Each structure stands twice: as C-alpha cells, then as structure tokens.
C-alpha cells in the first residue's frame, strides 16, 4: 500500500512539469510613437502613428532608412515604437534628422527589442 502511494506522488510530479513556448512576434503595420523625456515618456503629438511595411524589416539598414525618412524634422531625442499590445517594438535616438542609435536592449528590463527578432528571421 505504501509503495503504491509513493509511485502516485512520483507520477504527479512528472505530470506537473510544463514546457515553455516562445511565440514569434507578430507583424503590425501601425505602431504608436512615444518620445522619451527627462522624467517620463509621452505620446508624440506631431506623429501619433508610424506605418511600416514588411519590406522595411528585411534588414537593419532598410529599417533605419525608413525611420530616417519618416522622422525628418523631428526634434532631437529618444523615441520608441509601441505595438497595440503595449510591448515596445523598437527604440532609437534622433540627432539632427539622423538616426544615430538603434538600441538593442531595454535599459529597464534588459530584454531585446522585438525589431531585432525580425532582423534575425530575414
């Protein structure tokens, strides 16, 4: 009787293990634009939405070129693009109408931005 009881506990422990699945980031063509300020990040009023095609995500160079074309005339600063679900897609710095830096990881969480997954897949 005691032996059967021990086996059932062992079986339950094995059955409780789970595997984690990682979802591939979905493509969204319309992203929200936020501007990072000294103490907060606020939606950028001049351009609320940033439109993107799959063609622009095939390479880092193509993405930066598209961002640079859209962001002409924007003030210097750090901006980020958000998906509908609230996750940050990309973060970049603009200096004198040029994209100076495309950040790879979030300074707060240390996680890689989703745009880099798209670069890796193509």
C-alpha to C-alpha distances, 80 to 21, 48, 63, nearest whole angstrom: 27, 12, 14
DSSP state of 41: E
In three-state secondary structure terms, 45 is coil
Domain count, the chain: 1
- Does the pLDDT of residue 20 top 90, yes or no? no
Q: Domain of 56?
A: 25-121
Residues 44-70 have a mean pLDDT of 90
In this structure, is residue 19 part of a structural domain? Answer: no
Residue 17 pLDDT level (bands cut at 50, 70, 90):
low
Q: Is residue 15 part of a domain?
A: no
Does residue 11 lie within any of the structural domains?
Answer: no
Is 62 a member of any domain? Answer: yes
pLDDT in tens, 73-116: 999 999 999 998 989 999 999 999 899 999 999 988 999 999 99
Q: What is the mean pLDDT of residues 17-40?
A: 73
Helices (H), the chain: 2-15, 60-70, 115-121
| DSSP helix/strand/coil, 57 | helix
């Amino acid at each position: 009787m005691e032996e059967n009881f021990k086996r059932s506990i062992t079986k339950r422990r094995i059955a409780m293990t789970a595997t984690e699945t990682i979802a591939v980031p979905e493509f969204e063509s319309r992203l929200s634009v936020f501007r990072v300020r000294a103490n907060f990040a606020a939606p950028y009023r001049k351009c609320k939405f940033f439109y993107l095609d799959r063609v622009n995500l095939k390479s880092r160079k193509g993405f930066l070129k598209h961002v640079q074309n859209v962001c002409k005339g924007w003030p210097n600063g750090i901006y980020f693009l958000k998906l509908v679900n609230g996750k940050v897609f990309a973060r970049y710095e603009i200096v004198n109408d040029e994209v100076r830096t495309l950040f790879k990881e979030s300074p707060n969480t240390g996680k890689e931005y989703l745009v880099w997954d798209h670069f890796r897949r193509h």
